[in-house]
Structure 1
Amino acid sequence: MIKSSARRLAFQLTTEHKEPLDLTNHLPFQIAVVSNLLALNRDWKIRNLSDLDPREMRVLLNIGSYMPIKSADIAYQSRLDSYTVSRAVKKLLSLDLIESQPDQHKKNVKNLVLNERGLTIYKHVTAAMDERSKQLESVLTEEEKASFYQMLAKIEDKAEQLLAEQAKELIAQGEDAPADQKELIRWRKKSKS
């Protein structure tokens, strides 16, 4: 049986205007609420493992999990914008946690990898994340967990589609779509081929 959240019980929709948006029944808003609770810097066990901010932590985790990897691929995989990834990469390089290496196939492309210091932080953080994940997943059966991941994939795909279509519309109107939305178009074409 699913219980109503404490927030749903504590807050009543306003009567100050007609048709207020019920945020407790608004899927994107609810996903954002849970995402806020799951932010790496909200978990003190993870936060105490390094002095990295959440942006840098997410980029370090992507590098550790998928290295060697390009910054553009980190942006797409993590759904961070390229500017945010670029800032995090600069910070991680200055902290001597990652290295930039030339790509074997494309000489003008740089791949990112963790060095020993970065790998040590990565291992500590992922162990703490894995422990937290197991605790969170304990409220779901295996069937529910599989279904949940399938639903998340559908929502992610639809969100990507909507943003890519918006970017295409902007471009068709002669406007310049932001770089992150151009990347969505590129990746959407790549994944559909």
Structure 2
Amino acid sequence: MSSENLYENSLKNRLKAFELSESDQSQLALDTHIPFQVAVVSNLLSISRDPIIRNLTDLDTRELRILVNIGSYGPIAASDIAYQSRLDPYSINRAIAALAKKELVKYEEGASRSKPVLLTEQGNSIYNKVVAHLKMREEKLLDTLTNQERNTLSELLQKLELNAEAVLAMEVADCQKQGLSVTRDHKELERWYKRTNK
């Protein structure tokens, strides 16, 4: 069976799970709802679901994501990791503290108040193993896409990220204007939006 036929057959089988129920209400077809589709792919690609990575390290998902971010962009401050990864700063600081306790990251010597962090030799060893696997997995995942499709997908995801940031930041602002409660995480969305659009 060709890869195109295999794709069509797989898609047909998958869509059987998305038959809408009979109802008078306006229904949401999740199989074509972009935010839902992105969330499903994100769930499938979660580092915590990857059995090879689980055998490479016993770090929890958040710690591993932070370690990979530090390895790619360090020395880097926690606030920059939050902005890049769209994770809340509090949990990032907790993850950095846990990684430092395991001697996988360290604070840059003579650093300013923001305390940028970088990988230790041991942290770098884990980073290299994980990144080698992630690159191999990316190649397998994108194997059926042409170079043009890969570039288009990357551009579309970047646009989607920026649009999501803008929509969420405006919703936070609207809630505040109406006197509705917003969390610290919600306010972080506004800060990220302002940083992107400064």
TM over 0.5: yes
- What is the one-letter code of the residue matched to 1:145? R
1:139 alignment partner, SS class: coil
Q: In the TM superposition, what whole-angstrom CA distance separates every residue of 1:71-109 from its partner, at most 9, and x where no partner exists?
A: 1111111111122212211211121111123665xx322
Residue number in structure 1 paired with 2:139: 134
Q: 2:56 aligns with which of 49, 65, 75?
A: 49
1:143 correspondence with 2:141: no
Q: 1:82 aligns with which of 61, 82, 89?
A: 89
Q: Distance in 1 between matches of 2:110 and 2:183?
A: 26
- What is the one-letter code of the residue matched to 2:128? K
- What is the one-letter code of the residue matched to 1:33? V
Question: Is the alpha carbon distance of 1:9 and 1:75 closer, same or farther for their aligned partners in structure 2, counting shifts above 3 Å?
Answer: same
1:82-121 to 2 correspondences below 5 Å: 82-101=89-108, 104=111, 107-121=112-126
Q: In 1, are the aligned partners of 2:71 and 2:119 still within 8 Å (CA)?
A: yes
Residue number in structure 1 paired with 2:26: 19
| RMSD over equivalenced CA pairs, Å | 2.0
Q: Distance in 2 between matches of 1:5 and 1:88?
A: 41
1:180 correspondence with 2:180: no
- What is the one-letter code of the residue matched to 1:49? L
2:22 alignment partner, SS class: coil
Q: Distance in 2 between matches of 1:82 and 1:162?
A: 21
Q: In 1, are the aligned partners of 2:75 and 2:118 still within 8 Å (CA)?
A: yes
Query: TM-score, normalising length from structure 1?
Result: 0.89
Q: Distance in 1 between matches of 2:17 and 2:166?
A: 35
Q: Distance in 1 between matches of 2:132 and 2:141?
A: 14
- What is the one-letter code of the residue matched to 2:140? Q
* Paired-residue identity, %: 42
Segments of structure 2 that go 5 or more residues without pairing to the other structure are none
Residue number in structure 1 paired with 2:44: 37
- What is the one-letter code of the residue matched to 2:188? E
1:48 alignment partner, SS class: helix
- What is the one-letter code of the residue matched to 2:59? L
Q: In the TM superposition, what whole-angstrom CA distance separates every residue of 1:102-143 from its partner, at most 9, and x where no partner exists?
A: 665xx3221111101100000000000000001111111000
Segments of structure 1 that go 5 or more residues without pairing to the other structure are none
